[in-house]
Amino acid sequence: MAVVFGPGSVPGDLPRPLPFRDVQEMEISVNLRTSVTSRYEMRFRSTTAQEEAALAAATAREADAALHPLQNTALGSLTMYVLPETSSLLPQGTNVYVGKHRSALVRAGGSLAALQARLREVTQVMSFTASSIAAALSDRVPDGQLSPDARRYLKSSLGYEITFSLLNPDPKSHTVDWDIEGAVNRYVKPVLDKLSLVANFSVDSQILYYAVLGVTPRYDKESSSFLLSAHSLPHVINPVEARLGSSAASLYPVLNFLLYVPEHSHSPLYIQDKDGAPVSTNAFHSPRWGGIMVYNVEAPASPQASLPLHVDVDMARVMEVFLAQLRLLFGLSQEEVPPEFLLESPGNEGLADWELDHLLWAHTVENIATVSTTLTSLAQLLDKIGNIVIKDDVASEVYRAVASVQSAVTELSLGHLHGAFQASKEAVTSSERAFFDPSLLHLLYFPDDQKFAIYIPLFLPMAVPILLSLAKIVRETRLRKKEPTKMD
C-alpha cells in the first residue's frame, strides 16, 4: 500500500519525515486451530509533479483517470492519495473517494490519528477483511461466527458455465424475441473478460417452451395482478431446473439465469418480498444456483388484438438485473460503507480492479484450504488401507500439489497475488487428480476382515473333508508303525 501526501496534507504529528515505510500485522482467527495473519506494508511519500498535475483536475473521476497510468498496477496493491481537508476535489460531505482502479482519494482529517482511522476504513472496503477470509474458509468456521451470507457465495472452481434461458410457457399468446447474442457481447463479455483471471467461463443460451414455474400465483383484486410471495419462491426452482438439463453433463458449476414471460392467463405477475412489498426488479436469486427474472408483457390496447403478441425483450434492463445477480453469486455485493464514502461505478466492466483483487484473495485462500483438506483425506485413506498400491504418476501429483501449495503460501505472504493464485490453482488441479485417480478407489482393496468373511465360506466346506482325510492317514501311519514286525 502506498500513502501519497499531496501539498498541504501532511499531518503535523507525523512521526518521521517522508518518505518512510511501516508494517502493520493483524491476526484473523478462523477456528481454534487455524488463523490467518494479514500484513500491510505501507509506504509513505509525497506526490510527484505528474501526480500533483493529475490532482489538479476538476472532479475526482477525472483525477482518478489521470492518476491511473502513474500508479503501481500490480494485483493486490493500493494507492491512497491524501488531500488537504479543504480540498474541493471531493464533493461536500465526502471524505473518501474510491475509484474503479486501485486508488482512493482521502481527506487528511487534520491529525495523524484521524487519517489513520480513515485509511483503515479504506483498507476494510478495498482489501480483504476478517469477514471475507471467514467466508472463503466457511467450511472451517463455526456456524455461530459466520454472517448469514457467508455460505451463499460460489465455491472456488477452475471454470464456470453460464446458461441464459428464456421460458415461454404460453407460445400461443406470445412470440418472444430476445437478442441474447448481442446482449452477451455487449454486457456480459466485458465482465467475463475481467473475471478471466479468476476462472474459465463458457456461455450458452436456450429457449424453453411450455415451461411453467410450478407454483400457482395468487390473484390480487386490488392491483388486478398476480403475485408470487417470498415463501413460495423456493418451490419455483425445482420444476424449472428439471427442464434446464444444463448441469447433467457439466464438469464445472453451472449458473442459471432465467427470463420468464408469464402466460397470458397469469399476467401481469409480480414478486413480493418478505414484507409483502413488490420487488422493484421483479427478480430473485438463489445462492450458488442463479437467478430468475419475471418479464411482464404489456396488455394489448385492444381486446380484439390477434394472438400471438410479438414481444421484443429490453435486453439492457434484463442484463442489468442478471449482472447484479452475478456479482451477488461471486460475493461482490457492496458491503455497508461509511456514509462519507463515495464509490465510483465500475462501468461496463461490471467490477472494479480492487474488487477483482478482493475475489482473488478469497479464492487463493480457499484453494489453499481445499488442497489441505484433499491431501489430508488422501493420507487418511492410504493409512487405512495398508496394501494399497500408489503408482508413480499419483505420487508425482501429490508432490506437485504440496510444492504448489507451499509456493502459493510463500507468494501470498510476499503480496504477489497473481503468482499465489496461479500456484493455488495448480495445487488444486494436482491434488484432485491424485485423489480421484482410479487406482486409488478404496473399493479395489479389501481389509483383512473382509477377505476372511469372503473366503472362509468358500474354502471351509472344501477344507473339512481334506483335513479329516489327512488326520485319518496320520492315525493309520502311526498304528502301522506300532504293530510288531513278524519274523519267520
**What tens-digit pLDDT sequence spans the chain (488 residues)?**
899 998 888 888 787 888 888 888 888 777 777 788 888 888 999 999 998 898 888 888 899 889 988 887 788 889 999 998 888 888 888 889 998 898 999 988 778 888 888 888 888 888 877 777 777 777 777 666 666 666 678 888 889 999 999 998 888 888 889 999 999 999 999 999 999 999 999 999 999 888 888 788 888 888 888 888 888 888 888 888 877 876 566 788 899 999 999 888 888 888 888 888 888 899 998 888 889 999 988 776 566 667 788 888 899 999 999 999 998 888 887 667 888 888 888 888 888 888 899 889 889 999 999 999 999 998 888 887 777 778 889 899 999 999 999 999 999 888 899 999 999 999 999 999 998 888 777 555 666 677 778 888 888 888 888 888 999 999 888 888 877 655 55
Query: For the whole prediction, is pTM greater than 0.95?
Result: no
Comparing CA positions, the residue from 160, 14, 1, 8 lying closest to residue 71 is 1
Task: Answer yes or no: are the C-beta atoms of 75 and 417 closer than 8 Å.
Answer: yes
C-alpha 379/C-alpha 155 separation (Å) is 24
> How many Cα atoms occupy the beta-carbon half-sphere of 260 within 13 Å?
28
Burial of 425 (0-12, 13-18, 19+ CB in 10 A): buried
What DSSP string runs through 275-338? TSPBPTTSEEEETTTEEEEE-PPPPPSSTTPPSSEEEE--HHHHHHHHHHHHHHHTT-PPPP--
Torsions phi, psi for 83 (to 5 deg)? -105, 155
Comparing CA positions, the residue from 46, 90, 124, 170 lying closest to residue 336 is 124
User: Could you count the other beta carbons within 10 Å of the beta carbon of residue 278?
Assistant: 13
C-alpha 179/C-alpha 316 separation (Å) is 10
Task: Answer yes or no: are the C-beta atoms of 109 and 117 closer than 8 Å.
Answer: yes
> DSSP 3-state helix, strand, coil percentages of the chain (rounded to 5)?
45, 20, 35
- From residue 285, how far is each of 212, 216, 289, 322 by CA, in Å? 18, 19, 8, 9
Task: Answer yes or no: are the C-beta atoms of 151 and 137 closer than 8 Å.
Answer: no
Taking only the tens place, the pLDDT of each residue in 35-85 is: 888 888 889 999 999 988 988 888 888 998 899 888 877 888 899 999 988
